[in-house]
Amino acid sequence: MDFGARSPEAYASQQDGLTDGGRPVVPPNARQSAALTTIEANQRAEDDALDELSDVLGTLKQQSQVMSQQLSTQARILDGLEDKVDSTSARLGKGTNTMKKIT
């Protein structure tokens, strides 16, 4: 980063506080301080955004765990239902065969 070739003494010796181009004279230390302040503000904003992202990911993790538990429960229920349907189907087949013998 180029903070200018002038020494702090050259900045202090300016009579009107302006450069030849009409811009304010800003000593290198002031520019460095402003840059550091901006960098620190950006880092705080990034930290806040990362904290928020972490919270969202934590919520998603909890939701996925609940969904996994629900799916496991539903899989067990469906297995039990399948067994009952198979049993009922077998009994219905036997009942149909008995009816055929009677008629």
Which pLDDT score, from 0 to 100, does residue 2 have?
47
Contact in structure between 19 and 25 (CB atoms under 8 Å)? yes
Report DSSP letters for 50-95, one per residue. Answer: HHHHHHHHHHHHHHHHHHHHHHHHHHHHHHHHHHHHHHHHHHHHHH
Which pLDDT score, from 0 to 100, does residue 31 have?
78
Which pLDDT score, from 0 to 100, does residue 1 have?
44
pLDDT 10s digits, 15-72: 445 555 666 655 668 778 888 899 999 999 999 999 999 999 999 999 999 999 999 9
Can you tell me the distance from the alpha carbon of 62 to that of 51, in angstroms, rounded to the nearest whole number?
A: 17
pTM beyond cutoff 0.75: no
